[in-house]
């Protein structure tokens, strides 16, 4: 039997539309569990929006997230999770024991805000102030960590409601101080995962380029190692009119700045993604005085443990040789900072299959290039395979505003999308992991 299309409209459009509707309704939510999760998320959404606005309105800087961490711990306790607090001062973990056997999995959210004065026009804009380095500043959730924390609570709530169907254990991590002080590393060092060791970690970061409903991903490296160095070049100092009387640390420093750029261009492949930026160069106090010292500070970005070791070696060699050639004394302090986030390709691929089903189409998934920024979620990836996804939050009626800007604005519609998706990602992962372990 065939349907006739009304005159003037091609039958194929109706057939295609019908197929699309049938495909979507048949594909998701299909199972009773998927339907329950969707319904629970929908019911929870108004409460989550309230929580998000409350956290947004009361932002706290890194290692000072006492109010936020109190909200998280209280919420976890009400859900009946086992709650552990005090890691890295304000870090909280909530442990949900599922009703079916299976491994341990974790979801992480960061809680800290930034020393930025909010300039958005929403009624729940932050008016909070703090003193940073002796100067008063506003405090703002300009990186979306209020959204991350809210989604963590949402996923904990939804999975608690279906815990009889959850395989294994789910650990919910509310982490302090992502922006400033390596809260992830501190939590791990303080033993947060000593007796409950996740076999996989999942996280979101809000994405300021994608609309709500879209999910950005990078399989493999996603963010860079955030390394750097400080260099002090020393001289005796002398009169600027007789520069041959001493080593000029400014000239030596300038030569090093230029030579570093040549090194990046000529000693590293264009595919190696290497950045060296000398962002600070101080020396001297008068035009006719060659100063006794000059100080340089640089950030060094790249991917992977091998590459960061090579960079340290080459930079040390270059600085040593230029200073020795000029007869300058120097002190070089090289530091390895936050490592690059590595999204485990197999874990990423499995979670993307869930995302395609839950978000309704492959076109909702956006492959992204790795960034040269840093993100301390990488420390969890040193414990077990991990993946961080970028969740679109650009409001439909506004231009995109960058994270870390005073006008950054996130679309709250992303919250239930993120909660529903992560609950499904965790359940799919746990189901598959427990099946694999039985084989
Ligand atoms: Zn940030
Ligand atoms: Zn962030």
**How far is the centre of ligand 1, averaged over its atoms, from the C-alpha of 4 (Å)?**
56
**How far is the centre of ligand 2, averaged over its atoms, from the C-alpha of 323 (Å)?**
38
Ligand at shortest distance from the CA of 405: 1
**How far is the centre of ligand 1, averaged over its atoms, from the C-alpha of 274 (Å)?**
21
Of 150, 130, 121, 188, residue with least CA distance to 401: 121
Burial 365-396 (b: 16+ CB within 10 A, else e): beebebbbebbbbbbbbeebbbbbbbbbbbbe
pTM of the model: 0.90
The conformational region for residue 86 under phi > 0 = left, psi -120 to 50 = alpha, else beta, is left
**How far is the centre of ligand 2, averaged over its atoms, from the C-alpha of 142 (Å)?**
8
Active-site hit among 65, 110, 112, 179: 112
**How far is the centre of ligand 2, averaged over its atoms, from the C-alpha of 414 (Å)?**
16
Active site residue 121: no
Q: For residues 61 and 80, what is the distance between their CA atoms, to the nearest angstrom? A: 28
Tokens matching residue 56? 């947004």
**How far is the centre of ligand 1, averaged over its atoms, from the C-alpha of 402 (Å)?**
10
**How far is the centre of ligand 1, averaged over its atoms, from the C-alpha of 113 (Å)?**
8
Active-site hit among 34, 118, 165, 178: 178
Q: What is the DSSP string of 266-333?
A: HHS-GGG--EEEEEEEEE-SSTTEE-SEEEEEEEEEESSHHHHHHHHHHHHHHHHHHHHHHT-EEEEE
Active site residue 42: no
Q: Are 81 and 146 in contact (CB under 8 A)?
A: no
Instruction: Give CA torsion, residues 207, 209, 214, 218, to 10 deg.
Output: -70
Q: Is the peptide bond before 29 cis (omega within 30 degrees of 0)?
A: yes
Of 107, 142, 106, residue with least CA distance to 122: 142
Of 44, 170, 93, residue with least CA distance to 424: 170
Of 384, 298, 390, residue with least CA distance to 337: 298
Ligand at shortest distance from the CA of 206: 2
Please list the pLDDT of the chain residue by residue as tens digits (439 residues): 333 333 334 444 444 444 444 444 457 888 999 999 999 999 999 999 999 999 999 999 999 999 999 999 999 999 999 999 999 999 999 999 999 999 999 999 999 999 999 999 899 999 999 999 999 999 999 999 999 999 999 999 999 999 999 999 999 999 999 999 999 999 999 999 999 999 999 999 999 999 999 999 999 999 999 999 999 999 999 999 999 999 999 999 999 999 999 999 999 999 889 999 999 999 999 999 999 999 999 999 999 999 999 999 999 999 999 999 999 999 999 999 999 999 999 999 999 999 999 999 999 999 999 999 999 999 999 999 999 999 999 998 888 899 999 999 999 999 999 999 999 999 999 999 988 876 6
Beta strands 275-283 and 365-367 are unpaired
Ligand at shortest distance from the CA of 116: 1
Ligand at shortest distance from the CA of 388: 2
Q: How far apart are the first and last CA of the chain?
A: 47
**How far is the centre of ligand 1, averaged over its atoms, from the C-alpha of 420 (Å)?**
24
Ligand at shortest distance from the CA of 146: 2
Who surrounds ion ligand 2 at CB < 5 A? 143
**How far is the centre of ligand 2, averaged over its atoms, from the C-alpha of 56 (Å)?**
14
């Amino acid at each position: 039997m065939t349907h006739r299309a009304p005159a003037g409209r091609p039958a194929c459009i109706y057939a295609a539309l019908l197929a699309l509707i049938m495909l979507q309704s048949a594909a998701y939510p299909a199972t009773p569990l998927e339907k329950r999760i969707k319904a629970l998320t929908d019911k929870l959404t108004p409460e989550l929006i309230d929580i998000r606005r409350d956290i947004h309105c009361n932002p706290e800087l890194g290692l000072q997230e006492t109010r936020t961490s109190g909200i998280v711990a209280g919420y976890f306790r009400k859900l009946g999770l086992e709650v552990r607090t005090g890691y890295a001062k304000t870090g909280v973990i909530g442990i949900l024991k599922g009703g079916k056997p299976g491994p341990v999995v974790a979801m992480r959210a960061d809680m800290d805000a930034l020393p930025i004065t909010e300039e958005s026009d929403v009624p729940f804009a932050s008016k909070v102030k703090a003193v940073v380095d002796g100067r008063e500043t506003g405090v703002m959730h300009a990186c979306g960590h209020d959204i991350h924390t809210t989604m963590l609570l949402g996923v904990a709530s939804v999975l608690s409601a279906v815990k009889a169907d959850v395989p294994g254990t789910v650990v919910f991590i509310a982490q302090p101080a992502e922006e400033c002080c390596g809260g992830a590393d501190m939590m791990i060092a303080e033993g947060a995962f000593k007796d409950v060791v996740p076999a996989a970690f999942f996280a979101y970061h809000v994405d300021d380029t994608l609309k709500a409903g879209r999910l950005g991903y990078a399989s493999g490296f996603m963010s860079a190692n955030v390394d750097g160095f400080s260099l002090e070049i020393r001289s005796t100092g002398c009169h600027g009119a007789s520069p041959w009387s001493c080593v000029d640390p400014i000239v030596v420093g300038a030569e090093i700045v230029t030579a570093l750029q040549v090194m990046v261009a000529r000693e590293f492949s264009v595919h190696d993604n290497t950045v060296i930026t000398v962002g600070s160069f101080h020396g001297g106090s008068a035009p006719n005085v060659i100063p006794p010292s000059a100080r340089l500070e640089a950030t060094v970005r790249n991917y992977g443990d091998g590459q960061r070791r090579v960079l340290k070696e080459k930079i040390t060699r270059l600085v040593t040789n230029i200073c020795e050639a000029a007869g300058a004394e120097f002190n070089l302090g090289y530091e390895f900072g936050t490592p690059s986030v590595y999204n485990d390709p197999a874990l990423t691929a499995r979670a993307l299959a869930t995302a395609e089903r839950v978000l309704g189409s492959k076109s909702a998934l956006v492959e992204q290039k790795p960034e040269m920024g840093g993100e301390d979620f990488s420390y969890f990836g040193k414990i077990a395979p991990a993946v961080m996804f970028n969740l679109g939050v650009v409001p439909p009626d506004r231009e995109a505003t960058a994270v870390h800007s005073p006008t950054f604005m996130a679309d709250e519609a992303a919250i239930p999308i993120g909660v529903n998706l992560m609950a499904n990602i965790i359940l799919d992962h746990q189901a598959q992991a427990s099946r694999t372990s039985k084989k």
